[in-house]
Structure 1
Amino acid sequence: MSLNKNNLLLFIPCFYSVFGLAQESKTAAKDSLSMQKLDEVVVTGESQVMSLSKKLFAVGVLEQKDIAKVAGNNLADILNYNLNITVTPDPSTGRSTISMFGLDGQYVKVLIDGIPMASDNGMGNNIDITQINLEDVERIEIVEGSMGVLYGDNAVAGVINIVTKRGLENDYKWQLQVSVQEETVGSEYALFDEGRHIQNAKLSHQLSDKTSISIGGSRNDNAGFFNNYQGKNYVNIQDNAVVNDSLRGMEWNPKEQFTAFGNLNTALGKHAIFYKIQYYDESVPVYNHYVNGRLDSNTGMVNPTALDENFDTQRLMNNLNISGPLKGPTIYNLSLSHQTQKRYYKQFVYNIRERGIASVIADDLSQSSEIWYSKGFVSNMVPTSDFFNLQLGYEFNHQTGFDAIATGEYSSDVVENTLENYDFFGVADFNITDRFSVFPGARFTNNSQFGNKLIWSLSSTYNISNTFKIKGVFGSAFRAPNFEELFFYFVDSNHNVQGNPKLDPEDGISLFLNVEEKFRLSDKSMLKTALKSYYFDIDDKIASVIVTDDEDRNLFTFDNVDYSKILGFSLENSLIMDRWQASLGMTYLGQSTAIDASQVSNSDYLWSFNLQSSLGYTIPSINTTLSAQLKYTGRTQIVENNTGGTELGQTDDFTWMDASARVNITKNLSLTLGARNIFDIVRVNASDTPSGAHGSSGVPSRLFGNGRSYYLKLLYNLNFN
């Protein structure tokens, strides 16, 4: 189901009837409290030191209360509402990745407290955002624009920073938080075997004025989406023979996630120290739609079995942040991290009648990585000058591991590889006038695979008035190949899939312009408007290609074969008016892609229109907040890796809407209930996918949702001394 674009556009004049009431004021005002507000804040751990981030980038902030009112358990639950971010799920693997300004997850860096998060194949990029639990999160910062100088390769479209809660409020010594959440998956729900079941617990203790600790855990049991499939124990037997009707298994594979964490926040004099340890485990079973129906030689009866799989991901993260004054107002910030990630692959024969594993075909470690990371910088190095300032820093990354699809037949041949980065960066601050500043920056990176590269940027801010500001960022669009693209290895008698260690980084230019104005409507009302324009021109884009190896076999690998250009314009508005909060944003984005390997090109831009709107109302008399979010996603261009090579296609438009109500029943107990995917989106027509899939009625389509779902969350929060 999808709403017509013309109907959606009816929202625009309604909103601008309010917009027309605005009268410009030159007095600074509070920002909107809506979820899509753009506050001038800075990245975590850097609130005292990264003044450049505040000056250069408009940072969208999702506060903990924004997460709570939509019962967001993981990052995928909350990012779907952002105008310039699209969440794309993969029902077969359970992964959900994001694209930002039309660039996929390889171009967006995800940080935990300022430190890149380990993914399947790298640091901070192409993250499965369903694996990021939000129960211990204070806020989410979304920084838009090319940030390669400050945050390294692959921060082309922007940075998403997850900020951990620190300390207790209101002088309490102890805090206990416990919550349970039950959610349908479409119309499917049962206490154990269907739906989504979430439990969370956290205990915090304020040891002293300067030291606090917390421990906690979260379990998210998603039973998957059947959508007329019949589950893992289904078999169709007629006349003592198996009839393969492809109804076994599920449309969307289930997953069970467990997250455990511990935090220490303390201070030694003027120096702040924060340590975080987190363990994550995820299990994703894959049920084969095809059933084998061999006869049992002893009984003569059919013995149905299926060749199933299970993927288990385990991640351990140790992060340490230290910051403080180096000398006077000159401040340092140091980050250290050790992270490991392992993915285990199990392939086995499942006996459907006996409901157990008959034999194990493979049980191997298919992906492993160990990462040592450090970043340090010194800010405000010339505090006595009003005209000039400087920030200098370094970044180090050492990753060892391998990536393959284990089959049990060749896993001993997998070779461990090492990838290292040594980076040095600096950003200068020239205050030309009181209102106009220029920030040139550069990063020198030395990579063990492709050698030395230079990342550069030139940024500027111009404050026309206290409420009217212009910010621009012009720089290199630099993306380094990830671990999979360099070192992936899957070779046996039937497969020949390998990475390419000779890949060059992608490069090009990026341009981001933000014009922002605030309007005071009354003492309790304020409107904020931001107009954005962005352009990306990326050369040597890395894509999957098919070549011939030395034995004249097809070799599936990666190469620098194509280019991509993206041009877009956004208008974002947020309004606060007494008890009302509203936002409306629109984006018009064009993509042009050429793929030399498949000789497919589209020199013209494929344009798409996106719209986002939210509305909230607070009822103090009953301690209730009502909210609704609507997002229209226009058609998008997709680069798909198929058996015939890389192809271009597009996915049709669709509309997504959620609504919720949060009620504070007592001082310690709150209830959140709501509906996701109100327009009942399941599949969206897509010209780049094969036709004839189950549930698609022969029309090519991509699975985006699991239908209209309902949820209820109870949170108990007890503070005591």
Structure 2
Amino acid sequence: MTSRGVEKALKNGLFCKKTQTNALNLLLMSTALTCSTAAVAQENNLLDEVVVTASASEVTYKNAPASISVITAEDLENQGAKDVRSLLESVEGLTFNRAGNQSKVQIRGLNENYTLFLIDGKRVTSAPNAFRGNDYDSGWVPLEAVERIEIVRGPMSSLYGSDAIGGVVNIITKKETEEWHGSLTTEYTLQEDRKSGDYGRTGFNVSGPLLKDKLFMRTYGSWDFRRQDSGSLNPDSPSGGANAGFAKSDNKYIDTTVTWDVNEENSLDFNAGYSKRTHDKTTLDRVSGGITHHGSYEFGETELRAFGDRIENSYGHGNAAGEDMPNTAYNFTGDGKVNFDADLLVPNFLTVGATYQHQSLEDKFVLTGEGGSDSSIWQAAAFIEDRLEITDSFELTLGGRLDKHEKFGWNASPRVYGVYHFTDALTFKGGWSSSFKAPTLLQLSPNWKQVSCGGDCFLEGAEDLNPEVGSSFEVGFKYDQAKWSAGLTGFHNTIKDMIQFPPARTADVAVAQTYSNYVGLTSDGKPIFKFENIEEARTMGIEANLTVRPIDELTVSANYTYLDAKNTSANDAPLAFQPEHSANIKLDYAFNEKLSFALSANYVGEQYTSVPANGDMTYARKVDGYVTADFTGRYDVNENFTLRAGVLNIADNQILKTDWDEFNIDGRRYFISGTTRF
């Protein structure tokens, strides 16, 4: 929320008095984990900040009924991040599946299929366009547009429904301003190893009034790129095939929002955007649009939204025939909610809402069954959340959601969470929640037939799938003082009826007939397999963080994650790309009001990159752990121009891919960035 938004909220009165008291704190947010400069860390108390993702209504970080981390625009400005995923790498509980040199966000041992991505609270998904997965949904917003990122670690199906079984990443963009302001940023990163591709970005953000006190506009745009790694960077795989490094990427964005303050009680947001993202051979063109109504009345607050997008994939799901096989997906969501307070036995802060989602895919190359080349699915839901102020020190959140899915019917997701403040500094949190993940559009489409096994087998959808169901428990504490803070959280997740992704398959016809998901043969004798609910998983671990501010100018922050992620249906085999240990440490030093420095280090422990579906560890593969460290600096030349520079991976701990399931880590590189404000 901008200063204009805060003033309007305070003038109209927010439904929750606690939220109103803290509304001004929305201007700046920082976490103990990802704090910015020491000056910012000292001037702002995180516990009084307001977050919007952990609850159905705005709530202070201190009372948020979830484990939540926040990355701010200030954090972005103080490090050499090239995209949103780069910002997420230092958050406890988050790991990355880097197979094929993609970078897929994982939360608490569950892969990106179980992470819900939101932009300003609105769901985004490109899953139907690229069956084998992609890392696009974490990057539809360029860095120039990011105000902050809120990460909820743990399931939130009671609020958001399907896909939030692992957690939620909400990318919140900058809002309009009362006066015309703007910024232009240009950044370039040079690789010391000239076989590795350089990368850079240029972006702008402009905001201001079109009609004083009534009509406001904000526009942002960006272009970022990475040059392709040389084909000789990585050694050949044991089989003799070439191991590709990072592919060429080219991403362009433009987005505009117009806000109309109709009167003191009502406002409307109109949004339209276009993105074109190219990674290697795949280009996704996304056109998005939406309208949102905000109401602030004596009885409470309302929000009504209708939004959607069209995503075109010019490459498609694959091209065994040697030609592009394009497809187009359409996503639409309509939702609404009302927030109000009620004094019953205790003060209650209630939210009641409903949502409707529709998703469709046009693909004449893989949708070849009797249903034709189109497939669609819808689901609707109603939800309720009640935050009860049992005492001044104890809040209890009760939530529930009832989803109706076109294919598999009803699913309920209850949730209970408690926040207890032993003292002003010491807070205890804990809760239990149920969650679910609906099968994807393609997994449920009986007319879907996807080439696999290098063209020697096929996959198809199955109408008899069940939703994947999860159960999660967590407990932890947070201690915060002016000079130091610490936190410790333990969690335990289980998922049943997991849909193996991708499903078991083989080109060997004789072996194929022993698989439980074997369907039959094509007319030319190639085996066909379907999706099935066969797997179960359990993840558990500990997240710890510590921040120390020994002097006003210096902030030292660190975190550690212990993760035990197992496939319990395969003799407790470890899940791939889930390091048991990971840690981060960062030192921020403000030399003066203009000059600041940051030194950070990241440790990722050894991890398996491939584990057979049957859990036979004889053929499992893993890679060693590694450490990278970065040094960055920022200098405010004047109030209108900021210069940033730094050295990334200063120890040049470069990792080269040696086989298909491994990954690259860039070596030493140098970046410089300039931002002009007006």
Q: Which amino acid aligns with 1:657?
A: A
Question: Is residue 514 of structure 2 the alignment partner of residue 516 of structure 1?
Answer: no
Cα separation, partners in 2 of 1:69 and 1:705, compared to 1, 3 Å: same
Distance 2:490 2:165 in 1: 15
Q: Which moved more, 1:35-44 or 1:671-680?
A: 35-44
Letter in 2 for 1:573: L
Counterpart pick for 1:111 among 109, 118, 126 = 118
Shift of residue 245, structure 1, vs aligned partner:
8.6
- Cα 1:491/1:175, change in 2 over 3 Å: same
CA contact (8 A) 2:580 2:605 kept: yes
Give the match's secondary structure for 1:477. Answer: strand
**Aligned: 1:198 with 2:201:** yes
CA distance in 2, matches of 1:48, 1:148: 12
What is the Cα-based RMSD across aligned positions, in Å?
A: 3.7
C-alpha change, 1:707 and 1:557, in structure 2 (3 Å) is: farther
SS of 2:638's equivalent? coil
Tell me how far apart the structure 2 counterparts of residues 212 and 660 of structure 1 sit (CA, whole Å): 36
Higher alpha-carbon deviation: 702-711 or 608-617: 702-711
Whichever of the two has the greater Rg, that structure is 1
Structure 1, unpaired ranges of 5+: 1-29, 231-243, 286-309, 350-359, 521-525, 685-694
* 1:534 aligned onto 2:534: no
Q: Residue 403 and residue 635 in structure 1: after superposition, are their counterparts in 2 closer, same or farther (change >3 A)?
A: farther
Amino acid at match of 1:560: N
The Cα of 1:429 is off from its aligned counterpart by 3.1
> Deviation at 1:361?
4.8
Q: Which residue of structure 1 lines up, in the alignment, with residue 16 of structure 2?
A: none
Displacement of 1:346 in angstroms is 8.0
Identify which of 387, 411, 414 aligns with 1:456.
Answer: 414
Distance 1:45 1:134 in 2: 20
Superposition map of 1:436-455 within 5 A: 436-455=394-413
Deviation at 1:56, TM superposition (A): 1.1
CA contact (8 A) 2:71 2:150 kept: yes
Q: 1:713 to 1:88 in 2, by over 3 A?
A: farther
Query: Which of 358, 362, 366 is equivalent to 2:323?
Result: 362
User: Where does residue 336 of structure 2 map in the other structure?
Assistant: 376
Q: Does 1:710 align with 2:659?
A: no
Q: Distance in 2 between the 1:251 and 1:271 partners?
A: 52
The count of corresponding residues between Structure 1 and Structure 2 is 608
Q: CA deviation at 1:426?
A: 1.0
Q: Distance in 2 between matches of 1:603 and 1:344?
A: 36
Cα deviations across residues 210-248 of structure 1 (Å, max 9, x unaligned)? Answer: 532122321112112226259xxxxxxxxxxxxx9967x
CA 1:399–1:559 in structure 2 vs 1: closer, same or farther (change >3 Å)?
same
- CA deviation map 1:542-579 (0-9, x unaligned): 10223332337422432111111111112211233301
Task: Trace 1:570-585 onto structure 2 (pairs within 5 A).
Answer: 570-576=543-549, 577-585=551-559
**Residue identity matched to 2:98:** P
Cross-structure match for 2:254: 260
TM superposition shift of 1:33? 6.3
CA distance in 2, matches of 1:541, 1:47: 27
Distance 1:156 1:549, change over 3 A: closer
Please tell me the residue identity of whatever aligns with 2:558.
Answer: L
Shift of 1:676: 2.3
Deviation string, structure 1 residues 365-416 (Cα, Å, up to 9, x no partner): 1x3211110221111252576444432111110001146877xx97999621
Q: Is the partner of 1:78 in helix, strand or coil?
A: helix
Which residue does 1:633 correspond to in 2? 604
Q: Any idea what the Cα deviations from partners look like across 1:483-518, whole Å, max 9, x if unmatched?
A: 343345325984412232322111131012231111
- 1:246-290 per-position Cα deviation (integer Å, ceiling 9, x unaligned): 67x9522111111111122332222243333221112234xxxxx
The 5 Å alignment of 1:643-662 reads 649-662=621-634
Q: How does 1:340-359 map to 2 (within 5 A)?
A: 340-345=310-315
CA distance in 2: counterparts of 1:120 and 1:40, whole angstroms: 37
2: CA distance, partners of 1:58 / 1:570 = 10
Quote the Cα distance in structure 2 between the aligned partners of 1:51 and 1:45: 9
Counterpart Cα distance in 1 of 2:244 and 2:335: 44
Q: 1:143 to 1:126 in 2, by over 3 A?
A: farther
What is the one-letter code of the residue matched to 1:587? T
Change (3 A) 1:681 1:270: farther
Deviation at 1:66, TM superposition (A): 0.7
Partner-residue secondary structure (3-state), 2:86: helix
Query: For residues 592 and 46 of structure 1, what CA distance do their matches in structure 2 show?
Result: 27
Does the 8 Å contact 1:279/1:315 carry over to 2? yes
Rounded Cα–Cα distance in structure 1 between residues aligned with 2:192 and 2:613:
30
Q: Secondary structure at the match of 1:549?
A: strand
Match of 2:15 in 1: none
Contact 2:649-2:669 within 8 A present in 1 as well = yes
> Would you say 1:314 and 2:273 are equivalent positions?
no
Mean Cα deviation higher: 33-42 or 199-208: 33-42
1:548 aligns with 2:518: yes
Q: 1:42 to 1:666 in 2, by over 3 A?
A: closer
Q: Is 1:612–2:584 an aligned residue pair?
A: yes
Paired with 2:175 and 2:265, the residues of 1 have a C-alpha distance of 17
Corresponding residue of 1:4? none
CA drift of 1:667 comes to 2.3
Task: Indicate conservation of the 8 Å contact 2:70/2:150, yes or no.
Answer: yes
Determine the structure 2 residue equivalent to 1:218: 222
Q: TM-score by structure 2 length? A: 0.81
Distance of aligned partners of 1:198 and 1:612 in 2 relative to their CA distance in 1, 3 Å threshold: same
Tell me which residue corresponds to 2:650. Answer: 678
Could you say if the C-alpha distance between residues 262 and 630 of structure 1 is closer, same or farther in structure 2, counting changes exceeding 3 Å?
same
Structure 1 residues 454, 369: closer, same or farther in 2, change over 3 A? same
Q: CA separation in 1, counterparts of 2:671 and 2:370?
A: 46
Change (3 A) 1:512 1:618: same
Give, in angstroms, the shift of residue 610 of structure 1: 1.7
Q: Is the 1:672–1:712 Cα contact (8 Å) retained in structure 2?
A: yes
Given the superposition, is the C-alpha separation of residues 412 and 666 from structure 1 closer, same or farther in structure 2, using an over 3 Å criterion? farther
Identify the residue that residue 25 of structure 1 maps to in structure 2. Answer: none
Match of 2:107 in 1: 100
Alpha-carbon separation, structure 2, partners of 1:137 and 1:379: 26
- Offset from partner CA, 1:64-115 (integer Å, 9 cap, x none): 11111114342122111212212333446xx421111111112221111111
So what's the TM-score if we normalise by structure 1? 0.76
Mapped contact 1:530–1:573 kept (Cα < 8 A): yes
Q: Report the equivalent of 1:50.
A: 58
**Alpha-carbon distance, 1:420 to partner:** 0.7
Task: Tell me the CA shift for residue 701 of structure 1.
Answer: 6.4
Which residue does 1:27 correspond to in 2?
none
Tell me which residue corresponds to 1:273.
268
Alpha-carbon separation, structure 2, partners of 1:200 and 1:485? 38
3-state DSSP of counterpart to 2:481: strand
**2: CA distance, partners of 1:715 / 1:67:** 12
8 Å Cα contact 1:41/1:59 also seen in 2:
no
* C-alpha distance in 2 between matches for 1:626 and 1:76: 22
- For the residue of structure 2 that corresponds to 1:362, the secondary structure is coil
* Structure 2 unaligned spans of 5+: 1-27, 36-45, 506-516
Q: For residues 345 and 680 of structure 1, do their structure 2 counterparts lie closer, same or farther at Cα, with a shift above 3 Å needed?
A: same
Aligned to 1:138: 147
Map of 1:422 onto structure 2 = 380
- The CA distance in 1 between the partners of 2:47 and 2:391, in whole Å, is 23
Amino acid at match of 2:527: N
* Structure 2 Cα separation of the partners of residues 205 and 418 of structure 1: 40
How far, CA to CA, are the matches of 1:631 and 1:36 in structure 2?
Answer: 13
CA distance in 2, matches of 1:424, 1:625: 48
Looking at structure 2, the residues matched to 180 and 76 of structure 1 have their Cα atoms a distance apart, in angstroms, of 19
2:467 is paired with a residue whose SS is coil
